[in-house]
């Protein structure tokens, strides 16, 4: 049966041995499952560090690398990347909390997201972040409203929706009409207003074209366009745009027949571009999620049952799309299985074909409709590779009331639990029945019932 080269290259990120099977760091997946239970997300600190080193080496010293926390809002994962030299990009007040817990200072944080609330903006400004990337005039007005309460001038940039953006990323977040950023044609007007108001410290421009871009040329065209635009606007409007953020989106090959991003090429192209930009005073940044985190994470789930239905073999797992929606195809136009291996024998010849899915009462809860694996038995441990980005954070965790999985960080020989496993009572977290004493109503009844007065 055919083996997927993508699966092989993701397995190769990890040590495997014939006795212990798949190891994350120096700890076998079997031992992790034994100690911490399943389902579990497991992250390898060394791979996170390695990915960051690889990207920084390719992009060169002029480019700051921020970790896009949305890819994996584990404070422990973010802390590993911070200690290895990354900054942080956040998308909510909650992510600001996570960034702070991971040890990031305000000056290491940028914020992007099309629907920032007053609370998001207040949290960002109070944290004194490096750049709040404004995505609409309305957002800018909220910044102005909050500014008098800030100790320092708010540092803002404009997220631009470029007028032209080559079709590179698989999922685009820019284009002719979009919720993201300020249309390029409207950027000069907003810049003029920011300059006139003189309330904020204008940092520069930001552009994020979309995720899963495998085409280095297309990614570079977006970066090139942002540099050109910034230089043109500086001249036209007589103002300074000292920081440019080129966004993220570097593609990670997860599926059979995926292309492979040529990081060397992208890095060389970017260095050349910055050379041409000839602005030694300018700061450049990228904000990467998937490229830093995806390959470092494994989702471990046990086979509860194996059964046959109409000639097909089904593996029913203790984990599923409520923890790992991306592996069940959410967010993808075409459903394709993530790289999946049998943890005790990741290199064993596949001999059987299985459908593998979780415990939810929906056919959508399926990681693979037809996957080749060695013979699998109930109790076996399945490892979904490439799960370090957009895993738990992208999943409908409340569906059916199963507890959250635990998260484990492995650094070499040391495996530490970094998110507790949930419990069934979590299904009731924050809930009240209307007649319970703790329940609150928006409009209190005019007269309290007798039995409610104490």
Ligand X SMILES: Cc1ncc(COP(=O)(O)O)c(C=O)c1O
The contact set with ligand X (CB under 6 A) reads 68, 70-71, 89, 112, 173, 208, 211, 247-250, 287-291, 389
Nearer CB in complex with ligand X: 206/302: 206
Nearer CB in complex with ligand X: 70/116: 70
List b or e across 203-223, with b for residues whose CB sees 16 or more CB atoms inside 10 angstroms.
bbbbbbbbbbbbbbebbbbbb
Q: Take residue 442 and report the two structure tokens written for it.
A: 């928006």
Minimum distance from CB of 339 to ligand X (Å)? 18
Nearest to 133 by CA among 285, 289, 238: 285
Nearer CB in complex with ligand X: 374/396: 396
Minimum distance from CB of 259 to ligand X (Å)? 15
Run of H or E residues at 227: helix 216-237
Minimum distance from CB of 213 to ligand X (Å)? 8
Nearer CB in complex with ligand X: 210/329: 210
Minimum distance from CB of 293 to ligand X (Å)? 8
Minimum distance from CB of 144 to ligand X (Å)? 23
Question: How far apart, in whole angstroms, are the C-alpha atoms of residue 22 and residue 8?
Answer: 12
Nearer CB in complex with ligand X: 388/405: 388
Give CA 82 to chain center in angstroms. 15
Minimum distance from CB of 131 to ligand X (Å)? 12
Reading phi first (left if > 0) and then psi (alpha if -120 to 50, else beta), residue 431 is in beta
Question: How far apart, in whole angstroms, are the C-alpha atoms of residue 391 and residue 416?
Answer: 19
Instruction: Identify the bridge partners of residue 373 per DSSP, sorted by sequence position.
Output: 352
Is residue 387 within 8 A of residue 18, CB to CB? The reply is: no
Nearer CB in complex with ligand X: 291/338: 291
Reading phi first (left if > 0) and then psi (alpha if -120 to 50, else beta), residue 303 is in beta
In the block, which residue shows the tokens 């606007």? 233
Minimum distance from CB of 312 to ligand X (Å)? 34
Nearer CB in complex with ligand X: 162/247: 247
Nearer CB in complex with ligand X: 114/188: 114
Question: How far apart, in whole angstroms, are the C-alpha atoms of residue 154 and residue 348?
Answer: 56
Q: At what angle do helices 187-197 and 216-237 cross, to 10 degrees?
A: 50
Burial of residue 1 (CB within 10 Å: 0-12, 13-18, 19+) is: exposed
Q: Where are the alpha helices (DSSP H) in 238-335?
A: 263-277, 290-293
Minimum distance from CB of 1 to ligand X (Å)? 32
Question: How far apart, in whole angstroms, are the C-alpha atoms of residue 45 and residue 224?
Answer: 33
CB atoms within 10 A of CB 114: 16
Nearer CB in complex with ligand X: 168/357: 168
Question: How far apart, in whole angstroms, are the C-alpha atoms of residue 184 and residue 161?
Answer: 6
Nearer CB in complex with ligand X: 159/282: 159
Minimum distance from CB of 10 to ligand X (Å)? 17
Minimum distance from CB of 286 to ligand X (Å)? 8
CB atoms within 10 A of CB 348: 14
Q: What does the chain come to in residues?
A: 454
The conformation of residue 177, written as its DSSP 8-state character, comes to S
Nearer CB in complex with ligand X: 181/337: 181
Tell me how far apart the terminal alpha carbons of the chain are, to the nearest angstrom.
73
Minimum distance from CB of 78 to ligand X (Å)? 14
């Amino acid at each position: 049966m055919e083996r997927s080269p993508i699966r092989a290259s993701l397995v190769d990120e990890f040590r495997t041995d014939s006795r212990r099977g798949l190891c994350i760091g120096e700890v076998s997946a079997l031992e992790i499952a034994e100690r911490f239970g399943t389902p579990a997300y497991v992250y390898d600190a060394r791979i996170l560090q390695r990915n960051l080193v690889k990207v920084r080496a390719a992009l060169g010293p002029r480019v700051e690398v921020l970790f896009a926390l949305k890819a994996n809002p584990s404070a422990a994962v973010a802390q590993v990347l911070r200690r290895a030299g990354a900054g942080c990009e956040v998308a909510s007040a909650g992510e600001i909390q996570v960034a702070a817990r991971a040890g990031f200072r305000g000056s290491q944080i940028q914020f992007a997201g099309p629907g920032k609330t007053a609370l998001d903006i207040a949290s960002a400004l109070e944290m004194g972040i490096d750049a709040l990337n404004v995505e609409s005039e309305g957002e800018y007005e909220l910044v102005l409203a909050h500014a008098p309460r800030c100790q320092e001038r708010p540092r803002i940039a404009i997220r631009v929706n470029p007028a032209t953006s080559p079709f590179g990323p698989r999922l685009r977040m820019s284009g002719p009409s979009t919720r993201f950023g300020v249309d390029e044609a409207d950027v000069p007007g907003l810049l003029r207003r920011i300059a006139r108001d003189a309330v904020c410290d204008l940092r520069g421009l930001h552009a994020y074209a979309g995720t899963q871009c495998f085409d280095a040329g297309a990614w570079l065209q977006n970066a090139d366009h942002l540099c050109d635009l910034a230089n043109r606007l500086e001249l036209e409007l007589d103002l300074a745009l000292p920081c440019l953020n080129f966004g993220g989106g570097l593609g990670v090959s997860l599926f059979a027949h995926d292309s492979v991003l040529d990081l060397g090429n992208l890095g060389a192209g970017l260095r050349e571009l910055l050379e041409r930009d000839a602005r030694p005073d300018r700061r450049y940044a990228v904000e990467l999620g998937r490229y830093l985190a995806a390959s470092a994470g494994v989702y471990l789930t046990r086979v509860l049952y194996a059964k046959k239905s109409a000639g097909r073999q089904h593996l029913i797992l203790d984990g599923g799309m409520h923890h790992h929606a991306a592996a069940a195809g959410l967010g993808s136009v075409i459903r394709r299985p993530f790289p999946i291996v049998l943890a005790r024998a990741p290199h064993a010849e596949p001999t059987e074909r299985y459908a593998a899915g979780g415990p939810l009462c929906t056919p959508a809860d399926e990681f693979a409709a037809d996957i080749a694996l060695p013979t699998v038995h109930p109790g076996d441990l399945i490892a979904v590779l490439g799960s370090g980005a957009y895993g738990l954070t992208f999943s409908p965790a409340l569906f059916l009331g199963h507890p959250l999985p635990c998260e484990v960080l492995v650094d070499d020989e040391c495996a530490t639990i970094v998110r507790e496993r949930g419990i069934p009572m979590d299904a009731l977290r924050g809930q009240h029945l209307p007649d319970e004493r703790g329940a609150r109503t928006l409009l209190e009844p005019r007269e309290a019932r007798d039995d409610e007065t104490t």
